[in-house]
Amino acid sequence: MIDLADALALVERTAAPLPPRRLQLAAAVGRLLSAGIIADGDSPPWDRAMMDGFAVRDADMAGGGIVELEVVTDLAAGDVTSLTLRPGSCARIMTGAPIPPGADAIVPVERAVDGTAGTHAGGRVRLHEKTFRPGQHVGRQGAAYRQGQEVLAAGMWLGAAEIALAAEAGATHVVADAPVRVAILQSGSELVPHDTMPAFGQTRNSNGPMLAAAVTLLGGEPIPLGVAADRPEAIRAAVAKGLAADVLLLSGGVSAGDLDLVPGILAACGVDEVFHKVRLKPGKPVWFGRLARPAGEAPTLVFGLPGNPVSSLVCFELFVRPALAILSGRPRQAWHLPRTTAVLTAPVKAAPDRPVYLPGRLRPMTAGAAGADSSRIDSRGAARLEIEPLPWTGSSDLRGMAGASGLIALPAAAGLVAAGTGVDVLVRDSGTSGGRE
Ligand code: AMP
Ligand code: MG
């Protein structure tokens, strides 16, 4: 059993940023590019019609006034022709088609006069383009970029436009800061999927959805492995799968009961224990280790979280959160839940041997609250916060935790902490603190 501060330091020392990974283009949205993308062709790839109308020769249009031309072919987007325009001829053309050899410019269909706008191959069109510019409405080959040019640079964020550009430039895969892959496994013979009605003695697997949600909120990729019964071979098979991920989160089976098989199985799978049991309430049984991998590959980090949902969540927030943040390369100030101080509105019970985390609801301090009125404003002139401890029956009580906007962090101490006392509070994730900085 070790102290919380030592355990946190061990997690921080064991986790290291993951190298970038090659991702399918569609999976890379929202990621940061780690290697530039080189175009495999020009854009536009050929001289392209940018309007629906008629592909013409500049020379035929030079005189101004109404020009009558023979329409020799029809070109929809996707059509190509080897026919070369001779003087006095033009091609009916749609936006996106390559302009035919000999053509220099497009005259939009709206410039056709005398009801000739519908003219196709074999007919004659009369065009009146009052302000003709040589080369008008043609997207020139390579005007946007050239083959071999870098179109997206390392460090760029891949939004919708960047994904489209990569697709246009021929990138099927990109190298980017991949999301951390987190395998999630529950152990417990009493557990049933959350979408079923438990029989007497059975418990819905709430940790599975909870841990997947927590991973998603931090930008990771949850890989749910479901539930393994409390049988060594069942747990071992699922653990073997989970060890292929960057992180394996287990819940249940890490305390001291007869069927708490997880630590032994992890050891048998070659996972080195970093710590087991932390002076902490709730969450004492937590287990942490790492599986070394062949040189050059990042180790798999393994967390054995307690089965009780609230203990599991507290351990996730304290230990797993910084590990995921470090693996995904976040700066130090984004590793942990933000901390604040607040004044207790009601007494709470500390533990003499270990720090305690309790759910509470944060709010600006109200008039008439504990403490003198002047204490409602802190030294920087900001309104101080108060925190109301929520009714909570213990580490299986998700109801109290679900309404909490903060976790009251009490250092080890004997007895009650009185109302009006200033306490440390971890501010629960509202979906913004864990996201991209
Ligand atoms: P354990 O850590 O396996 O001893 O489990 C402690 C308590 O947490 C027991 O009451 C379990 O039924 C409960 N528990 C374990 N795993 C889960 C889970 N995935 N979802 C909900 N409750 C669980
Ligand atoms: Mg169990």
Question: In this structure, which ligand is nearest to the CA of 189?
Answer: 2
Helix H or strand E encompassing 310: helix 309-315
Q: Quick one: pLDDT at residue 416?
A: 96
Quick one: CA torsion of 69, 72, 74, 80, rounded to 10 degrees? -120
Amino acid at 390: L
pLDDT, one tens digit per residue, over 94-108 is 999 999 999 999 999
Give the pair of three-digit tokens for residue 295. Answer: 């040189």
**pLDDT of 175 higher than 60:** yes
Give the pair of three-digit tokens for residue 35. Answer: 């290697």
- pLDDT band of residue 382 (cuts 50, 70, 90) is low
- The chain-wide mean pLDDT, for the chain, equals 94
Q: Quick one: pLDDT at residue 257?
A: 84
User: Which residue has a Cα nearest atom 5 of ligand 1?
Assistant: 307
- Mean pLDDT of the 345-350 span: 97
309 touches ligand 1 (CB under 6 Å): yes
**pLDDT of 28 higher than 90:** yes
Helix H or strand E encompassing 166: helix 160-168
Cα–Cα dist 50/95, whole Å: 5
Cα–Cα dist 342/362, whole Å: 8
Q: Quick one: pLDDT at residue 63?
A: 84
| pTM as predicted | 0.81
Residues 6+ apart with CB under 8 A from 374: none
Pick the atom of ligand 1 nearest to 187's CA: 16
Distance 261 CA to ligand 2 centre (A): 9
- pLDDT band of residue 435 (cuts 50, 70, 90) is very low
| 3-state per-residue secondary structure call for 276-302 | ECEECECCCCCEEEEECCCCCCCCEEE
| 3-state per-residue secondary structure call for 21-55 | EEEEHHHHCCCEECCCEECCCCECCCCEECCCEEE
186 touches ligand 1 (CB under 6 Å): yes
Q: Are strands 181-187 and 247-251 parallel, antiparallel or unpaired?
A: parallel
**pLDDT of 371 higher than 90:** no
pLDDT, one tens digit per residue, over 179-194 is 999 999 999 999 999 9
The b-or-e profile of 61-87 (16+ CB within 10 A means b, else e) is: beeeeebebebbbbbeeeeebeeebee
**pLDDT of 40 higher than 60:** yes
235 touches ligand 1 (CB under 6 Å): no
Lowest mean pLDDT among 137-151, 288-302, 364-378, 407-421: 364-378
Complete DSSP assignment for 66-97: EEEEEEEEEE-TT----PPPPTTEEEEE-TTS
Pick the atom of ligand 1 nearest to 251's CA: 16
282 touches ligand 1 (CB under 6 Å): no
190 touches ligand 1 (CB under 6 Å): yes
- Mean pLDDT of the 224-252 span: 97
User: Which residue has a Cα nearest atom 14 of ligand 1?
Assistant: 307
Pick the atom of ligand 1 nearest to 254's CA: 2
Distance 360 CA to ligand 1 centre (A): 23
Out of 185, 187, 189, 191, mutate this one to test ligand 1's pocket (max ligand atoms within 8 Å of CB): namely 191
Task: Pick the closest to residue 119 from 58, 53, 57 (CA basis).
Answer: 53
Residues 6+ apart with CB under 8 A from 110: 53, 117
Cα–Cα dist 86/65, whole Å: 20
222 touches ligand 1 (CB under 6 Å): no
- Mean pLDDT of the 220-243 span: 97
- Mean pLDDT of the 206-231 span: 97
